[in-house]
Amino acid sequence: YTLNIQNIKDNSFLEGGQGQTFFEILENCNGWNIKEDYVLIYELPNDKIANSFSSYSTFENFLATKHSFELNEKSQFSGEKSYQGFIEKNKREISGSIINDNIKKLTFKKDVLFPIEHLLELIKTAKNGEKILTKKVFFGNEDEEFIKIVSAFIGQLRISKLKDIEYLNEKKIWPIKVAFYKDNSKQENPEYEIHIEIDDSGVVHSYKVDYGNFEIKALLKKFELLPKA
With cut-offs at 50, 70 and 90, classify the pLDDT of residue 143. confident
The Cα 182–Cα 136 span in angstroms is 10
- Give the rounded percent of residues in the chain with a pLDDT score beyond 90: 77
**DSSP bridge partners of 172:** 159
pLDDT for 229 beyond 80:
no
Residue 187's pLDDT band (boundaries 50, 70, 90)?
A: confident
Distance from C-alpha of 98 to C-alpha of 106, rounded to nearest angstrom: 7
User: Rounded CA gap, 69 and 199, in Å?
Assistant: 25
Q: What is the pTM of this model?
A: 0.92
Residue 206 reports pLDDT greater than 80: yes
pLDDT reported for residue 91: 87
For residue 151, list its beta bridge partners: 134, 179
pLDDT at 227: 84
- Percent of the chain scoring above 70 in pLDDT: 100
What pLDDT score was predicted for residue 59?
97
207 or 101, which is more confident:
207
Cα distances from 79 to residues 36, 91, 195, 224, in angstroms, run 19, 38, 28, 33
List pLDDT tens digits, range 64-123. Answer: 999 999 999 998 877 899 999 999 999 889 999 999 889 999 999 889 999 999 999 999
123 alpha-carbon distance from chain centroid: 15
DSSP string of 41-106, one letter each residue: EEEETTTEEEEEEEEEEEEEETTS-EEEEEEEEEETTTEEEEEEEEEEE-SSEEEEEEESSSEEEE
Residue 184 carries which side chain, given as an amino acid letter?
N
pLDDT confidence of 183, banded at 50, 70, 90? confident
